[in-house]
Chain A
Amino acid sequence: MTLQEIQEEIISEFDVFDDWMDKYEYIIDLGKELPIIDPLKKTDDRLIEGCQSKVWLDATVVDGKMQFTADSDAIITKGIIGLLIRVMNEQSPEAVATADLFFIQKIGLQEHLSPTRSNGLIGMVKKLKMSALQALNA
């Protein structure tokens, strides 16, 4: 699936919820599917400092496709990074670097993009894209 299609898929999954708590329950569940980073790779250079929760992210390129693993000490953050990785995983570095992540707004998570929320969603997106750019320049 393309990055576009995966985002459409996520949007339709979220469409069924009209209660915020149900939405977050689903996000929490998604966190459990997050491809977890090798604990040995939880080093400072892989740490994205959000103000409140910590996120570690590792990126590799296998056969020209991006592969991400991550973890966080907060469960909701794990769910959110899980969503991002679901969209970006197995995509080409070009696609990741130039991705327009319209699903964030559509499923109502844009509040996590505001700097005051500071849970590092902005940092996560930046880091995901930076790693794709590095892969391109490598």
Chain B
Amino acid sequence: MNNLLAGILPQSGGLEASGSGKYTLAMGVLALLSVLGVAAGVHSLIAGHEHTFGVSRGVPWGILIAAYVFFVVTSTGLCIVSSVGHVFGFENFNPIAKRAVFLSIATIVAGFLVIAFEIENSWRMPVGNVIGANLTSNIWWMGTLYGAYLFFMMIEFVMLQKEQHKAATGFGLAGLLTGVAAHSNLGAVFGLLNGREFWHGPYMPIYFITSAAMSGCVAIIFFTIIAYKANGWKMSEGMKKSMESVAKMGALMMAIIIFFTCWKMISGVTGNPPGKYETIMTLLTGSYALNFWVGEVLLGMVIPFAIILVVRGRNINALFVAALAGMVGIFVMRYDLVIVGQLVPSYHGMGLVDYPELLSYAPTLHEYLVVLGGVAFCGLFFLMGEKLFRGHVAEHS
């Protein structure tokens, strides 16, 4: 074990993290939040979601699913971004690759942590998934593939640390393929529900993959800049170039997402398709309009896109603002996607009396705490990684 660790952990070189009090403080706060989140999650499992969560019969999926989707989208995106350099050989992407692989593990673990509390009997999963395997279930594929994905990414990371580049590339490719397959299955979890018009169709899997790539770019910029600023490291020329390339790729993905979103909205309004129209209008002018216009459109798309274009991906401070806005915006996108898709009740449009036009959902304290716990856990992981792996400095830079 010690030998193994010694093989992975760089003993020298790289960048030394400032082991100041600030670092300890940050770790402490994040650890505390993680513990709080886990406590809230465990309590909700014991007491039952009925009593602790805002989810209901009509809206069974709440902010925890949104957070899970957010984490795995980011993880898949980080894997995609890491493989651009690693697997496909675009040199500019190499400097961020190690950090991206590491963070893709951190984010997916955080995602699993959150979903473990959303699934009311997660302990039945290991056995149930095997003896009850249902090959027509997208959620089964998603879970299983993400399991494999985590495995591949961990091996890839170890291989990277051991400087075994061939093996790393192989596992990277395996991780990428399973990640993309898993992630498009996550899209299909929503997209193949015939009764849910807002989700139904091939759009979801396609959209999920594209937004994963976008999230990956945003996330790696966000975390890299934090790591460098917090530790007072100086960015090498290679890293700066890398940031620029990632930012430009991110901007391209944002453009595609903007394009997708436009048509999603237009097709949802044209001809008032039943079930879909109500949902789209909830986003455009209804109770989720603030989320949509400020959260999704401004923070998630327009602001980061505009900033990256204006500074041409070169100003690090500006990039950080873009990435921060992007992270928040992407979270709102996931939230709206999950929640708003469930708001139209099953028997809408049948002329029913005392039947809601739209259902409602609001997260409870328990749910917020679990989500916050997941975020904190991811942060904790990230900080530890920076210290242990000495700034994830890549092989050739």
Q: Are A and B subunits of one complex?
A: no
A-binding residues in B (CB < 8 A): none
B-binding residues in A (CB < 8 A): none
